[in-house]
């Protein structure tokens, strides 16, 4: 099972100093700070659930509802509105794509 302690990286939320909270009596509930400490100490995580799930390879249930127009599509029924363009000024930048 992959551990992901670097989940803290966006904005380093776990670097925040917070007082330990114990408002929940549920033993499986550990705070984020407690959990990161357990991971860093290499300890077993409480209630860790392991699943082995595979695709059923089934077909989706047939749709019975029509597509609903988006609010902005309903509002855009003004004939004077310019069609979408891709005429941006900037040049294409480095970066590429490959067809798989």
Partner 1 sequence: MSAVGVGAARTLRVPGRHGYAAEFSPYLPDRLACAAAQHYGIAGCGTLLVLDQNESGLRLFRSFDWSDGLFDVTWSENNEHVLVTCSGDGSLQLWDTAKATGPLQVYKEHSQEVYSVDWSQTRGEQLVVSGSWDQTVKLWDPTVGKSLCTFRGHESVIYSTIWSPHIPGCFASTSGDQTLRIWDMKTTGVRIVIPAHQAEILSCDWCKYNENLLVTGAVDCSLRGWDLRNVRQPVFELLGHTYAIKRVKFSPFHASVLASCSYDFTVRFWNFSKPDPLLETVEHHTEFTCGLDLSLHSPTQVADCAWDEMIKIYDPACLTVP
Kindly list the residues in this chain that would bind partner 1 in the complex (CB under 8 A).
Answer: 1-5, 7, 9-11, 13, 16, 26, 28-30, 32, 35-36, 39, 45, 47-65, 67-68, 70-72, 75, 84-86, 88-90, 92-100
Q: Which is nearer to partner 1, 79 or 92 (CB)?
A: 92
Q: Which is nearer to partner 1, 10 or 79 (CB)?
A: 10
Neighbours of 17 (CB within 10 A): 5
Closest approach of partner 1 to the CB of residue 55, in Å: 5
Closest approach of partner 1 to the CB of residue 41, in Å: 13
Closest approach of partner 1 to the CB of residue 14, in Å: 9
- The helix (run of H) or strand (run of E) holding residue 35 is helix 32-40
CA–chain centroid gap for 35, Å, is 20
Closest approach of partner 1 to the CB of residue 1, in Å: 6
What single DSSP character describes residue 74? H
Tokens of 27: 């033993």
């Amino acid at each position: 099972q992959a551990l992901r302690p670097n989940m803290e990286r966006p904005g380093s939320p776990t670097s925040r100093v917070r007082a330990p909270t114990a408002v929940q009596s549920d033993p499986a509930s550990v705070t984020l700070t407690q959990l990161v400490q357990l991971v860093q100490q290499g300890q077993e995580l409480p209630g860790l659930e392991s699943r082995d799930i595979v695709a059923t390879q089934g077909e989706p249930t047939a749709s019975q509802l029509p597509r609903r127009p988006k609010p902005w599509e309903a509002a855009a029924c003004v004939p004077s509105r310019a069609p979408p363009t891709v005429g941006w000024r900037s040049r294409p930048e480095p970066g590429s794509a490959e067809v798989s």
